Amino acid sequence: MLTNGSVQQLVKQSMAYGFVLSQPFSFYVDAYPMLQNEVLAESSMLKYGLHNDAVRVMQYKLNQLSYYDKEIDGDYGVLTEYALKKFQKDNNLKATGQADEKTMNTLIKIEREKYLRPLRSIDQNYYPGDTGKDIETIQKALHYFGYYKDELDGIYGPMTDQALKAFQQDHGIEVQPEVNEKTINAIYTAEPTEVTQPKEKSKEQEATEPKEPKQVPKAVEQQAYSTATLISNAKQYVGTPYVWGGESPGGFDCSGYIQYVFQTVNIQLPRTVSDIWNMTKPVNELSIGDFVFYETYKAGPSHMGIYVGNGQFIHAGESRGVEISNMNNSYWEPRYLGAKRLAIQK
């Protein structure tokens, strides 16, 4: 399994340095399969009735392997269960409809082969300026590991060259523009991520093990900022599409949007709705710029926005992307949990 350090190194080398330095890292559901594997590796068994990011990733991978053709919504319903059972049957697994460790590792292995096996048919060296299906095959393989993020066009141009050199550097290969057998073999054999699910403990084991206190983020004081500037910046992104894992103007998810907007006024926030909820202070009366929290697909705070006045809030919704919504409409009003704000230094 990838360590935190190796994941960070992979992210560092996965995109053009200029993009990394100028924007937060964006994790799209249809990009960086190797990083998607980390989401699965950190999850427990997936089964009917769940709704989370790991289910989204599994749905996407099943879609890529032509087992699932419905909406990728993170909802483990009947159609997701049916798709997984078909995958399990086709791969000589027990067709339970539940994604256990063996099923998820098989899914990762087969998807990996889809991206990497075509490398074995490459039987010549390539150089910048070359074109063709073999170059596209190399691009797809580098894309799998997060090094190549551009159009799969079969052209050995600057982005392909940059991705290749980053891979060579990370894997101890001589950095050179030539794509030779040594580099191809290194890409093909690069270490995959495997899922290892925790073993269930007996009641006796749970009773004797010491309980570790849950770490809850503390309310952190931040420097003062202009609320008017914050709201103005937030409104610039109205209409930006919703992208699961999105943290940039190319596409936002709920908390990615909040984090990005606050960064424009030099305020650093945690990445998840629950962590922002835990590190902010409740308020009785709403003021412009406050956070408003909602309970949507799971118990507790799972969606949030920024209050903009007149009973409205701005947020990144799954159906229409960044938009301004009325807090009193029939959907949001019954799901409202409350408002909070940052502690600001005097």
Lowest mean pLDDT of 33-37, 283-287, 289-293, name the range.
33-37
Mean pLDDT of 19-30: 33
Task: Give pLDDT tens digits for 209-262.
Answer: 444 444 444 444 456 788 999 999 999 999 999 887 788 999 998 999 999 999
pLDDT for 293: 95
The answer to whether the beta carbons of residues 280 and 287 sit under 8 Å apart is: no
Mean model confidence pLDDT for the chain: 81
pLDDT for 261: 95
The answer to whether the beta carbons of residues 324 and 238 sit under 8 Å apart is: yes
Lowest mean pLDDT of 10-14, 31-35, 137-141, name the range.
10-14
SS (H, E, C) the chain: CCCHHHHHHHHHHCCCHHHHHHCCCCCCCCCCHHHHHHHHHCCCCECCCCECHHHHHHHHHHHHCCCCCCCCCCECCHHHHHHHHHHHHHCCCCCCCCECHHHHHHHHHHHHHHHHHHHHHCCCCECCCCECHHHHHHHHHHHHCCCCCCCCCCECCHHHHHHHHHHHHHCCCCCCCCECHHHHHHHHHCCCCCCCCCCCCCHHHHHHCCCCCCCCCCCCEECCCCHHHHHHHHHCCCCCCECCCCEECCEECHHHHHHHHHHCCCCCCCCCHHHHHHCCEECCCCCCCCEEEECCCCCCCCEEEEEEECCEEEEEECCCEEEEEECCCCCCHHHEEEEEECEECC
Task: Give pLDDT tens digits for 292-335.
Answer: 999 887 778 889 999 999 999 999 988 789 999 999 999 899 99
| Domain annotation for the chain: domains and CATH numbers | 4-45+100-189 (1.10.101.10), 221-344 (3.90.1720.10)
Residue 2 CA to residue 115 CA, distance in Å, equals 19
Q: Please state the pTM of the whole predicted model.
A: 0.51
Q: 312 or 8: whose pLDDT is higher?
A: 312
pLDDT for 223: 61
Mean pLDDT of 26-36: 53
Lowest mean pLDDT of 39-43, 149-153, 235-239, 291-295, name the range.
39-43
The answer to whether the beta carbons of residues 28 and 251 sit under 8 Å apart is: yes
- 77: pLDDT confidence band, cut at 50, 70 and 90? very high
> Is residue 13 predicted with pLDDT exceeding 50?
no
pLDDT for 66: 93
Largest Cα–Cα distance in the chain?
A: 69
- 197: pLDDT confidence band, cut at 50, 70 and 90? low
